[in-house]
Amino acid sequence: MMKPMKRVKQLNCLGIESTAHTFGASIVIDNGEICSDVREIYIPHKGRGIHPSEAAQHHNNKAQSVILKALQSAGKNVNDIDIIAFSCGPGLGPCLRVGATVARALATYLNKPLVPINHALAHIEIGILTTNVEDPLVVLVSGGHTAISAFGGKRWRIYGETEDITLGNLFDMFARATELATPGGPEVEKMAAKGCKLIDLPYTVKGNDVAYSGLLSAALREYKKGTPLEDLCFSLQEIAFSMMVEATERSLAHTEKKELLLTGGVAANKKFQLMLESISRQQNADFHVVDVKYTGDSGVQIAWNGILAFQKGITVKIDDSIVKPRWRLDQVDISWRS
Amino acid sequence: MKITLYKRGAEADLYLDEWYDRKVIIKIRVPKSYRHPKLDLKLRTSRTIREAEILHEAKKASVPTPTIYFVDEKEAKLVIEYIEGIRIKEHFEKLNHVELNRICKDIGIKIGLLHKSGLIHGDLTTSNMILTREQKIFLIDFGLSFHSQDNEDRGTDIHLMKRALDSTHYESAKGCMKSIINGYAKIMKRGLMRKILDRVKEIEDRGRYSGERHT
């Protein structure tokens, strides 16, 4: 890995993640070594979604122990930390503010540089670190994102994305309404394995964009009519994934990229992986999935991005370190890629 | 003439062939093994029929499109006129400012003509436009097209065009979009166009994390 200057000492970055249900902390070294990964996950009441202020309260209660554990399990002392990175957005305001407050306090107390990280970018960079891809088309799918992106001219450009809810939202909202456990993705996946009948549900692809809210409403209507949940989960997955895979194949053909990288929470779904692998073969691209340990939100991806950004001189003054709940991926200037 | 694979697209394989002495493209929507056979068949046949219909209707709306010679619904196969020219995507970066503006304005006119006739292309990208030696722009790939007079659908069409420019041709995207809208305005009535452009913004705002997109 290229370093901007000769350095005797390695750089240790503490990354703090708190965009949604996860409060995470991790220490990563500038050679890409991941020293620790500690997470605490807020679980909403059954049948409910994330309550932002409750989640923030959870993060508040866990912050100290999570960060201490991240230091301990890395075998580091707080004085070994050179950089403090935090997820600055996009995400839920109250949750983001917990991570930002902790990060600011530590940076002030330790007198260390503070680095603001875009959460979507963090998912992409950890995918690149763990798969060694060079110039991929990225499929980023999670509770907060459903987007197809590739790098060009200093930014990650969006080729396609959801026009309403994300894949993660779709599964979570469906699971809540049908009294499956949350997060919904793994539950829908388990249930779908027992189903086999394809129910007719709306399939909405617009160019490289997708839209899932119509699919969700129709699936819930079928549920109320008494359609077996197994078949409904099977169909929901089949159709939701097919839409995204089609949009991805169209983007691959358009961009002519030779690598496809799948990252984000929904990347853990085996069925989705197989489908994307199939179109990668068709379009002569190599298929890669982020290391399964890092599909979900974690401090690791924030810490690693902290290193990348800091090496290019990106830091933020405490006074300017406000969170950006709606900070789009394609608004971040990237100076470490060309 | 031997049939050769001309291009493997996302949706279909394209073969170059001759059809009663005419140079043609055979477009076959091949089955996709990743999706359920029932869904696969439904998508392939409905899009084949849709494409054939709307390619023809677009022509009636004065939008240059390849002529359809043959439709095989069962095989999801179309035999269409081969258009000699270059894909605008590949040509884009080589154009000077004046040429680019002229072409974009013309693209805007074509979109306007489609919309005025109640047609939505559904996949407007520079990959789906061919520029001939006579500087005529042909629109192709009507697989996602449909009939609609709804401003939501028209707005989505414009949004997709804008997205394609922002991602693929980011250096010239802003100016190009302006020229496209200028062309569009030549066809669409001012009040209606305003409503459609307002809808484009609404569509963008509805998407994920759009808060800082307009800053």
pLDDT in tens, A183-228: 899 999 999 999 999 999 999 999 999 999 999 999 999 999 999 9
- Residue A118 in contact with partner chain B when CB distance is under 8 A: no
Give every residue of chain B whose pLDDT is below 70, as ranges: 1-2, 210-215
Segments of chain B assigned to CATH 1.10.510.10: 86-206
Displacement of CA B133 from its chain's centroid (Å): 19
Angle between helices B151-168 and B173-187 (to 10 degrees): 150
Smallest Cβ–Cβ distance between B209 and the set A206, A245, A327 belongs to A327
A171 C-beta neighbours (distance < 10 Å), count? 29
Q: Please check whether the two domains, A12-122+295-331 and A125-294, share a CATH topology.
A: yes
CB A100 within 8 A of CB A225: no
Mind telling me the catalytic residues of B? 123
**Domain A125-294: CATH class, spelled out:** alpha beta
May I ask the CATH class of domain B86-206?
A: mainly alpha
Please report the residues numbered 155 through 194 in chain A whose beta carbons come closer than 8 angstroms to any beta carbon of chain B.
155, 157-164, 166
Strands A146-152 and A155-161, by their bridges, are: antiparallel
Domain ranges across chain A:
12-122+295-331, 125-294
Q: List b or e across A127-136, with b for residues whose CB sees 16 or more CB atoms inside 10 angstroms.
A: bbbbbebeeb
A25 with A70: CB under 8 angstroms?
yes
Q: What is the ipTM of this complex?
A: 0.93
Task: Specify whether the CB–CB gap between B87 and B130 falls below 8 A.
Answer: yes
Picking from A126, A226, A123, the residue whose alpha carbon sits closest to that of residue A168 is A123
Q: What is the pLDDT of residues A307-332, one digit of tens each?
A: 999 999 999 999 999 999 999 999 99
Instruction: Note whether B78 and B68 are within 8 A (CB).
Output: yes
Q: Which chain B residues are Cβ-neighbours of A211 within 8 angstroms? A: none
Residues A258-296: tens digit of each pLDDT: 999 999 999 999 999 999 999 999 999 999 999 999 999
pLDDT of residue B9: 87
pLDDT at A47 over 60: yes
Confidence of residue A8 (pLDDT cuts 50, 70, 90): low
Q: Residue A7: pLDDT above 60?
A: no
- A206 contacts on B by Cβ (under 8 Å): 122-123, 144, 156, 160
Please tell me the CATH code under which domain A12-122+295-331 is placed.
Answer: 3.30.420.40
CA dist list (Å): A184 to A139, A178, B150: 20, 10, 34
B99 touches chain A (CB under 8 A): no
Helix A184-192 × helix A229-255 angle, to 10°:
110
Of A118, A176, A182, A181, nearest to A145 by C-alpha is A118
Nearest CA in chain A to B142: A207
Q: Which fold has domain B4-81?
A: Phosphorylase Kinase; domain 1 (3.30.200)
Extended beta strands in chain B, E state: 4-8, 13-19, 22-28, 68-72, 77-81, 86-87, 119-120, 129-131, 137-139, 146-147
Give the HSE-up count for residue A38: Cα atoms under 13 Å, Cβ half-sphere: 20
- A151 vs A6, residue with greater confidence: A151
Residues of B in contact with A146 (CB under 8 A): 208
- Alpha-carbon gap, residue A262 to A272, rounded angstroms: 9
- What mean pLDDT is reported for chain A? 95
Query: Residues B167, B156: contact at Cβ < 8 Å?
Result: no
Query: Which pLDDT value is given to residue B209?
Result: 79
